[in-house]
Structure 1
């Protein structure tokens, strides 16, 4: 039987801290969110390994990103307690749960119906009240614009969906791992009026996010 509390502490000390993740609030949240609840039962004992974990068995499977690159991307977002966050590609809700420990409100977006149900169940079972998960396409248009201070994409993309930029408030920032060939580079995009400024920060690797066109709209 795995001691998950100990495994979680080892994950933070040996995987996350050693990758220059030092933000105290984030480290505290990573220590408190039970990652094992967000992976399939058959893989639960592997929840804290330094690898991405498959969440589905589809031809284009979805993954829970490895702890270290996920934590580095969240730290890059520099989320404040007063901010609203959009979590694109919420999966079973782990990323949404972590972000909820840092922000005022989090909305996760997940196109897979089964994963979206699991995410909502997981958040509810943990008593997380400042987060929700919407079933919608990962690049579905949003009614109204400028809702969020931070947008995070939970997977590598070759191009950031336009709808993700439109979701940002003026001055808001978007965090994405942009795939260029075999290399993924973490970018911070900042919305300034109608313009988007960007800067590249570091190279890392997380599984791809299957961004696809979707006709539906969702409202916050």
Structure 2
């Protein structure tokens, strides 16, 4: 029988801490949440590998290091409302739920959303709402949000999503340029989002977050 608890500790000791992530709430959440319960059942054995895990289509569960470093820079606090876009089977929402007041986990695949809801309920995460809907439209009805986290690659972030971020809020996305990507953190001030580069990472671009070429007449 696989000792997932030991693998979880090893993940934190070999992937998270060496990436300069030392904030206690992040370490504690990643040691507490059973990642193997939030991956496709056929991939449980691969749950703690240091790479993105395919969820089907161009969707992935982000590698632990990328998620941890994003959360480190976003610096969540216990009184904040977080929108987790593309939450898949709910792992990221489960981790964030340990650090924030409440999480809206947005997933457009109804089967994944259903599975996420069941997994989160079984894990006792009662401060997470799973919302089914188009990822590139966000979840305006529960916003505005203190923090928005996008679980996958982007080339462009729709204005409708930036509009759901509170003034003073933060948003994180993995901006892809071909095969290379970098995480950028956006800070919203006076209605405008200013972006700062943070660290290199990669993930497939989520449908609806591609760059749109200018119209040709």
Tell me, yes or no, if the aligned pair for 2:97 and 2:127 is still in contact at 8 Å: yes
CA–CA distance in structure 2, aligned partners of residues 54 and 187 of structure 1? 22
| Residue of structure 2 aligned with 1:208, choices 201, 205, 210 | 205
CA–CA distance in structure 2, aligned partners of residues 117 and 4 of structure 1? 24
| Residue of structure 2 aligned with 1:152, choices 117, 132, 149 | 149
Tell me, yes or no, if the aligned pair for 2:156 and 2:209 is still in contact at 8 Å: no
Give a deviation string over 1:137-156, Cα, whole Å, max 9, x none.
Answer: 01126546961100000001
Query: How much does 1:22 deviate?
Result: 1.2
- Matching of residues 49-64 of structure 1 within 5 Å: 49-56=49-56, 60-64=57-61
Count of residue correspondences = 210
- Matching of residues 55-134 of structure 1 within 5 Å: 55-56=55-56, 60-134=57-131
Give the direction of change, closer, same or farther, for the CA distance of 1:67–1:3 in structure 2 (3 Å limit).
same
- Matching of residues 16-27 of structure 1 within 5 Å: 16-27=16-27
> Aligned Cα RMSD in Å?
1.7
Stretches of 4+ aligned residues off by more than 3 angstroms: 141-146
Give a deviation string over 1:155-206, Cα, whole Å, max 9, x none.
Answer: 0100112222111111111111111233211111111122121111111123
Partner of 1:218: none
Tell me, yes or no, if the aligned pair for 2:179 and 2:202 is still in contact at 8 Å: no
Q: TM-score, normalised by structure 2?
A: 0.91
Q: Secondary structure at the match of 2:154?
A: coil
Q: Which moved more, 1:187-196 or 1:144-153?
A: 144-153
Give the direction of change, closer, same or farther, for the CA distance of 1:144–1:46 in structure 2 (3 Å limit).
closer
Q: Secondary structure at the match of 2:137?
A: coil
Gaps (5+ residues) in structure 1? 214-220
